[in-house]
Amino acid sequence: MPTPDAAAAGTLTLGGDLPVTRMGYGAMRLTGEGIWGEPADPDNAIAVLRRAVELGVDLIDTADSYGPAVAEDLIRIALHTGRSDDPYGGVTIATKGGLVRTGPGEWHALGRPEYLRAACEMSLRRLGVERIDLYQLHRIDPQVPASEQFGVLGDLQREGKIRHLGLSEVSVAELEEARGHVEVVSVQNRYNLVDRGSEEVLEVCAASGIAFLPWFPVAVGRLARPGGPLDDLAASTGASPAQLALAWLLHRSPVLVPIPGTSSLSHLEENVSAAGLELTPEQLAALEAAV
């Protein structure tokens, strides 16, 4: 297998001025069980973040609701340089607001403008920055006019507190509505080899030059069973099923930026190694047909 090196995946430029490597890292799994509370081993969580950057990952995805607040705190502890001009040493920290927590595994949309403003302000404080490079609306709250949610994010951007804006879990119609209010540079929807329900959203992103950050990018399940289609392909390539799933995403579209998350150093290196995995047209066709 290739040496772990995120740079092998190439780059994508967010908003015309923010290049990122196309193999990111998702920090959700660094928290406690149920994405709630502190990790069992904070030192390991910090080591994973630092190792990701050592491997060339320069996009770390997080959210204020991971913990809540825990993931953002860990990122600051692990990666903040202490410099006001370059607080993360060229690493883009993408965070999100718009979901609140009431317990492990419990998530609720809250998009009132005053809440979104407060959430952004708190993320700025926790991350130790004056401006968030990529701030994403975690969910559109159906109880609040979408225009009000997009509007306050646009206000925060004009105030210099947000550099670029993105959305999470949106339909094509919601994406287009948002683009009528603000410039959207990223979409973060669930998308992977076995769940392609956001195919139409991906097509719009590809046509518009919008980055697509698939969450839960490694989901192979039954395809990796002994004797299954991924098991056979893994044997012939020397790659793991997870690496094949990530490599498929990188080949699927140049706007895809996988953000696999893990709390394991070995799994982190395995995931990043997928950036250097070359697949033949026949192997890609086999992956397409495996679902």
Q: Please identify every residue annotated as catalytic.
A: 66
What's the sign of the alpha-carbon dihedral 174, 176, 180, 184? Answer: positive
Q: Where are the beta strands (DSSP E) in 169-230?
A: 184-188, 211-212
Nearest to 203 by CA among 219, 191, 220, 215: 191
What's the sign of the alpha-carbon dihedral 122, 128, 130, 133? Answer: negative
For residue 42 the two structure tokens come to 């904070």
Four-CA torsion 279, 285, 287, 290, nearest 10 degrees: -160
For residue 40 the two structure tokens come to 């069992």
Per the listing, tokens 């701030």 go with 135
Collapse the DSSP code of 6 into the 3-class scheme (helix H, G, I; strand E, B; otherwise coil) and give the result.
helix
Q: How far apart are CA 265 and CA 52, in angstroms?
A: 9
Whether the CB-CB separation of 220 and 212 falls below 8 Å is answered with no
